[in-house]
Structure 1
Amino acid sequence: MMDEISILHETFDDDVTTSPSPEAEQRARHALQNRITAPAPVRRRLSWWLSIPVAATAAAVVAVVVAGNVNGKGAPGPTTAGPALSAAPVAALPYLKPVSAAQVLENAAWTAEQEAWVNPAPTQFMYVETLEMRNKPGYEQKHPNGTLLPGKAEYRTIQEWNRIDGQVWASKRNGKLEVNHQGQNGGWKAFVPWSQVVKLTSSAVIDAYLEHPEGGVTAEPWALAGQYVLPPDVKAAIFRYLAQQPGVQVNPDAVNLDGRPAIALGEVIEGYLSRELLFDKDTYSLIGDRLVAVNDETAPNSSHHKKGDLLRQVIYRKMIIVDKAGDTD
């Protein structure tokens, strides 16, 4: 694989002057989702890397990007539930020098268990703020499946709010808060019910949930780890579940994410793409995700990807529970 640090240095670009149109954003995300995975034939399964509300007649797609302790500014206030965004854990990690994916994930599980947590009310929101690397809108509209272009791809700040009861979601576009309600104007967004989320406290329960989801909506554990503001015991259980899955490996190539050394942990899908969760090298907090080609491949839509091509890069900046849409702390 080509040098990832070189890729990231070339593609990090803060000169973002325009935002993509809603139509371009939807085409790009749907194209990537449709190429990598097909929707489940019976129940709605959410992909771990995409997020966009769609009409009731369209496929339900929800995205990746939520986790616990990342780049926050202090613990939640008196009316805020969620993980306290604190410094590195004070006690010893289970593995000081992990050498396997299972050991890295056990460290991540242990770190998650150290987070403070207050159960949120149904009317509170999961607030997720990320930096998502994207090609410029004009190019992305023409090449929704395209590799992130070195020197041209740019980071865009994404802010999303999802109410705990699943009935309201919101996002910011060009600085304006847009609030949506389930069923309003025919809109519908898939949520794993919170009553289901809080039960996922062991690998056995996660297996059972994937087979028989509550409410008919599932998300792969990869998606849950990066999409919901999870209770510490649920997040830890997901990491331990992933540690038991075949094919999950530590990527030996160095990754520098947002100025911090990161450990990439992933699995190969479609024979040529590695979907990876990125963990802080010191605290083992989940800090991002990416999608990178590990082999040359011509995709079904005839776009060609070379080994080392970066297709997705996301930094998790802030993931907390807030009282209302628009709140950021």
Structure 2
Amino acid sequence: MMDDLKTLRDAWGEADAPSQSAHAQARAALLARAAGQGHAPRTARRRLRLPKIGVRLVAIGALAAAITAGVTVVQTSGGTDKAGRPRSALPGIPAGPVANAEQALDRAATAADARPFTPPRPDQWIYTELRIRTSAKPAGGVTGGPYKTYIRRHWERADGKKSAQIVNGQVKVLDGFSETIPPNDYPSLAALPTDPDALLRWVYAQNGGKPGTQGQYEVAFQTLNVILRENLLPPRTEGAIFRAMKKLPGVTLVDNAADAAGRPAIALGRTTEGWLHEEVLLDPKSYAYLGERAISIKNHTFRGAGDNPNLDAGFIKKGVLQNLTIRTAAEIVSEPGQRTS
């Protein structure tokens, strides 16, 4: 069987990290959005970056070519038996294609529940690696190139008391607990509710916003995606996230989805602010989390997030990809700097 992660690594070469200006603009846009929904930033906590337009990520090449009009049924079976009937690729999951987002999320939750998992020891580290295609321009929405690719590598000690990242080509360990919204330390993640209704109540409480509104549902979908993207989760927690997504209004199955290497993927998403479709990408056979993407579904005029928003204003055409992030690693390692167990 082809190693999908190796394919992604071979397809995209090494690249530079994003600029400090890009980080600052993305953070400003996110905080402004959070404040607009009635949730005051907490001084003792930092908010993990949600997959927002301010991050200004873009996918081109194989993925752009894969997005076409028409209807494609996503195949998720393990082939056929001698009688030509679909054969399931995973025990306990029906064979054949998924017809809608609810079916896909049900199967993803069932697959997550059955995944073998050994919890990390407190002294071990959780390593995550993201490969991101982004505009080379410093701020604003994605309206066109030039583009570049960068890799983000992060280590979090399982007890939540230390983290590490690459700084100037070297692994830098950061001491002290850094509380985030949503959390990214393993003890907090392992303690999240595994009942989907209780998990959604927790998400709503973290983000604030007016109950029962599209804005609340948008941020809830983004928050659940961030937790999937940034962490290695206990199986029951991951299953609960998929079941919670299923309960959010407006989540749909996307036709003709593909990942960065042009391979088929299941895309499940919902519309943000009426013009941006934000999606979670799943492997069509294992239902494992692959990453995320976002695409404009309407023409959109935006303002920048800096001191002079008019200078960073722009126009985004319908069909322009805003975000492609592929998670290429999520595993337990022995020490910071280690990339494989």
TM-score, normalised to structure 2's length?
0.69
Q: Is the 8 A contact 2:90 2:286 kept in 1?
A: no
State whether residues 131 and 317 of structure 1, in contact with CA within 8 Å, keep that contact through their aligned partners in structure 2: yes
User: Which amino acid in structure 2 is aligned with residue 258 of structure 1?
Assistant: A
State the partner residue of 1:161. Answer: 155
**Alpha-carbon distance change, 270 to 212 in structure 1, aligned in 2, over 3 angstroms:** closer
Q: 1:225 to 1:14 in 2, by over 3 A?
A: closer
Map residues 1-329 of structure 1 onto 2, 5 A cutoff.
14=12, 18-21=16-19, 23-34=20-31, 37-38=34-35, 41=38, 60-63=46-49, 90-91=90-91, 93-94=93-94, 96-136=96-136, 139=137, 141=138, 144-147=139-142, 149=144, 152-182=146-176, 192=183, 194-198=186-190, 199-211=192-204, 220-301=223-304, 302-329=313-340
Whether the 8 Å CA contact 1:133–1:155 is kept in 2: the answer is yes
Letter in 2 for 1:197: L
Relative to structure 2, which stretch is displaced further, 36-45 or 109-118?
A: 36-45
Which whole-Å CA distance do the structure 2 matches of 1:157 and 1:308 have between them?
A: 25
Alpha-carbon separation, structure 2, partners of 1:323 and 1:40: 41
In structure 2, the residue corresponding to 1:119 is in which secondary structure?
coil
Report the alpha carbon displacement of residue 34 of structure 1 after superposing the two structures with TM: 4.6
1:83 — aligned with what? none
Partner of 2:69: none
Matching residue's letter, 1:33? L
Give the gaps of 5 or more residues in structure 1.
1-11, 46-55, 66-86
Following the alignment from structure 1 to structure 2, what is the Cα–Cα distance between the partners of residues 173 and 133? 20
Which of the pair is proportionally richer in helix?
2
Aligned residues: 272
Asked if the contact 1:182/1:189 (under 8 Å) is kept, the reply is no
Q: CA contact under 8 A between 2:265 and 2:284: conserved in structure 1?
A: yes
Which residue identity does 2:189 align to in structure 1?
V
Please give the alpha-carbon distance, in whole angstroms, between the structure 2 residues aligned to 1:222 and 1:159: 18
Indicate the percent of aligned positions where both proteins have the same amino acid: 24
Q: CA deviation at 1:260?
A: 1.8
Specify every segment of 5 or more residues in structure 2 that has no aligned partner in the other structure, as ranges: 1-9, 52-77, 79-87, 207-219, 305-312
